[in-house]
Structure 1
Amino acid sequence: MTGSALLSALAVGLVVGIVGRLVLPGPKAAPVWLTVALGVAAALLGSVTIRLIGVDVDPTLPRLLAQIGFAVPAVVLGVVAAGRRGGDVTRS
């Protein structure tokens, strides 16, 4: 993986993590560091996946789309899962 792929995954993950935290409705049970970490990890996974598929590293658009396509669902699922876990413990 090239340095530009790592930097773009870091940038995409940071942006998706922060924006996802701000945009998703409801209580924010997931901490900011978790949403950012999920975004970065998923964007890195998107970079690795697009490279394993055989797409060359030079075209940045497919790599960016893969990073965003992996990061957005990861952040959404992380925030939703954290929201379901935290809450009223007296409920039966």
Structure 2
Amino acid sequence: MITIQSLIVLLIIGAIAGWLAGLIMQGRGFGLIGNIVVGVVGALIGGFVFGQLGIAMGGWIRDIIGATLGAVILLFIIGLVKKA
């Protein structure tokens, strides 16, 4: 069951990851809501990728790193689709 606390943590990690991914990908930023969405979707992608590699996630720092890498992958794919 999702608690209020876990939802708040998810939103905070998503916002940080989306912001970092925007910086890494030389973006102009997406605003708070956009960063959260990019970060949360990135967390799903990062969790899947790291899971397939057998790397366990957990803890704030690892979660932020995984979500950021997933968000970078997401932004890279979006960039490829926009160019096509």
TM-score range, shorter chain: 0.5 to 0.7
Q: For residue 23 of structure 2, what is the aligned residue in structure 1?
A: 22
Q: Superposed, which structure 2 residues align to 1:1-92 within 5 Å? A: 1-25=2-26, 28=27, 32=30, 33=34, 35-41=35-41, 42=43, 62-87=58-83
Q: Distance in 1 between matches of 2:36 and 2:5?
A: 19
Looking at CA atoms only, which structure, 1 or 2, has the larger radius of gyration?
1
Higher RCO (CA 8 Å, separation ≥ 6 residues)? 1
TM-score calculated relative to the size of structure 1: 0.53
Runs (5+) with no aligned partner, structure 2: 48-57
Aligned length: 67
Runs (5+) with no aligned partner, structure 1: 47-61
TM-score calculated relative to the size of structure 2: 0.57
When you count helix as a share of all residues, which structure comes out higher? 2
Give 1:20 deviation, angstroms.
1.3
